[in-house]
Structure formats: structure tokens, C-alpha cells
Structure 1
Amino acid sequence: MQPAESNSTPLTDEEERRFQAVLFRELGNEIADRGWARYPAYTPEDRRRLVGVAHRLSAHWGQRVFVEAEDQCGLRLYLAGHEAQSALPPA
């Protein structure tokens, strides 16, 4: 079940910073380990946040982290060379 956009409460600035730091660390570790990661993105804000994390990871690593919609509810972040691998279902 996806959360209703109109019922979501915006994060405070501090909550947003903490959440982005967690995403940066967790998704960054997953991408570093296998070259890609999936994450749910139910709202435009979720998608914006993940694109921002991908940009920060790109700057941090000095290589581009690509972002691609898997479907209406999720995004895939990946490094070059991991496009086909990330499209496979998890083992």
C-alpha cells in the first residue's frame, strides 16, 4: 500500500538532513558493494530526494551515479556498467 501524498507531513529541515544522510550512507554502501540499489519512491518528494542523493554520491565518488525509474513506485540508482545487472530481479 502506498502512502497518500496529501496525508504526508513534511519533514523538518533537521529530519530531512538526517534522512538524506542515512540514504547517502545506506544506498552508497549498497551501490559500492554491487554497483546498484533500488529504493521506493512513492511521491515526487521521494524521487527528488533520491536524485539529490545520486548527485551527492556522484560528487563524492567522482563518477556518475545514474537514476532510473523502475516503475511508478521505485527508482534504481546505479554506476556505469551495471545497467543490465540492475534490471535483473534479486537472487
Structure 2
Amino acid sequence: MIRDLYNVRLLPAEDRAEPLTEEEEQRYRAVLFSELGNTIADQGWVRYPAYTPQDRSRLVAVAHRLTTYWGQQVFVEAEDRTRVRLCLAGYESPMESTGRS
């Protein structure tokens, strides 16, 4: 049986986040720089969630900033569709360090 739906409207998605303002973006990158940098300094690597292309590009920018700050390469590796790994040389994943993809 088919039912007709009258007066049905799509509600706005509440879980959709608004884009960050320029100031919010700068503050968020500063927090990532500090927190992720401290973790990398302590253990040589860190994993961080990256669900959107903006998240991934933000983490790449933080890795470049850490590389410049430390004068030591910080590598960026996508572990899967939702996680990115930042690490120093010697802490790469086993597949990356052996040269296989």
C-alpha cells in the first residue's frame, strides 16, 4: 500500500557544523600545534581524527608548521578514512618505513 505524505518538510541537519571563522580557525590550529606537538615530542607520533577534507588539510598545515618550528620533518599519513597519523622520522608505520605502499 502506498501512502501519500502531505506537508512533509526536511528539517535542517543539526549535526552539520558551521564553518569556522578565520579567528576560530587560527585558534584551533594553535591548539592542535601545541597539543599534537607535545604528544609527538613525548612519544614520536600521534593519531588524530580527520573526518572531512578540511580536517585533513588542517592537520597537514600543522605538520608543516611543526616541521618549520623543530627543523625536523613531521610526516603525515592517512591511516584510514577517519584518522591521520603525524610522526617523526623513525616512527613511521611499518609499511611506510619499508618503502611499500
TM over 0.5: yes
Instruction: Tell me how many residue pairs correspond in the alignment.
Output: 81
Superposition TM-score, scaled by structure 2 size:
0.76
Q: Distance in 1 between matches of 2:89 and 2:26?
A: 27
Superposition TM-score, scaled by structure 1 size:
0.84
Q: Distance in 2 between matches of 1:62 and 1:9?
A: 35
Q: Give the RMSD, CA atoms, in angstroms.
A: 1.7
The structure with the larger Rg is: 2
Identity of aligned residues (%): 67
Shift of 1:84: 3.9
Gaps spanning 5+ residues in structure 1: where? Answer: 86-91
Gaps spanning 5+ residues in structure 2: where? Answer: 1-12, 95-101
Q: Distance in 2 between matches of 1:64 and 1:13?
A: 27
Please list every run of at least 4 consecutive aligned residues from structure 1 whose deviation after the TM superposition is greater than 2 angstroms.
none
Shift of 1:83: 1.2
Q: Which has the higher helix share?
A: 1
